[in-house]
């Protein structure tokens, strides 16, 4: 079983690439953002809690995110592998994920980071905000706040996964098919 973490700032293309990878490899895609948005749309307790953080451009607390992720993995006992998109975002989440997967006799195979410069990502997010109506993608200040959160809380994950030999960087700029091929090259080499 291959389990992949797609890593990168908001707007880096994690969700787009996950769709191609799940079709190609038969992985199950878990996007914390999609799960949160589903819960928000349906006004669940988790959704309302997540919305209060997301509307401010903040990350949802670890405990809420981890419990949600566990539930998603448990729903897919026959999965060929998982793509984790938007999780983990902190070292504490990474350690919790490793422990949970170990209990299931699984492990993370690779962390693949989609790299792109901030200005390109801001333009992508503002366009996505116009097209989707997502509040968190319509305000440049909130977007920059999300980048600051990413840099301060998520950047330490690079060292965590590098120490395990599981960190790979991919150029996230270019045609979608080109980026997909770069990611497939990493996965095929595992």
Active site residue 89: yes
Of residues 22, 128, 153, 166, which has the active-site annotation?
A: 128
Check the CA dihedral 32-124-173-161 and report its sign: negative
Please give the distance of CA 105 from its chain centroid, rounded to a whole number: 22
Q: Which of 9, 14, 51, 142 is catalytic?
A: 14
Query: Which residue among the candidates 37, 51, 89, 124 is catalytic per the annotation?
Result: 89
Of 22, 70, 134, 153, which one is the catalytic site residue?
134
Judge whether 37 counts as a catalytic residue: no
Cross-strand bridge partners of residue 114 = 170
Active site residue 182: no
146 in active site:
yes
Determine which one of 37, 51, 142, 146 is catalytic: 146
| 134 classed as catalytic | yes
Q: Cis ω on the peptide bond leading into residue 88 (within 30° of 0)? A: yes
Catalytic residues: 14, 89, 128, 134, 146
């Amino acid at each position: 079983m291959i389990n992949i973490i797609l890593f990168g700032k908001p707007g880096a293309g994690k969700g787009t690439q996950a769709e191609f990878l799940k079709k190609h490899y038969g992985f199950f895609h878990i996007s914390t953002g999609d799960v949160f948005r589903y819960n928000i749309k349906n006004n669940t307790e988790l959704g309302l809690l997540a919305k209060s953080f997301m509307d401010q451009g903040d990350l949802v607390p670890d405990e809420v995110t981890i419990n949600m992720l566990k539930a998603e993995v448990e729903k897919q006992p026959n999965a060929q592998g998982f793509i984790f998109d938007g999780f983990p975002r902190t070292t504490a989440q990474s350690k919790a994920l490793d422990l949970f997967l170990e209990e299931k006799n699984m492990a993370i195979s690779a962390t693949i980071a989609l790299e792109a410069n901030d200005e390109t990502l801001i333009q992508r997010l503002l366009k996505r905000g116009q097209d989707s109506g997502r509040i968190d993608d319509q305000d440049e200040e909130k977007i920059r706040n999300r980048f600051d959160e990413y840099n301060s809380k998520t950047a330490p994950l690079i060292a965590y996964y590098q120490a395990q030999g599981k960190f790979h960087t991919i150029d996230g700029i270019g045609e979608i098919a080109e980026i997909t091929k770069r990611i497939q090259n990493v996965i095929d080499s595992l």
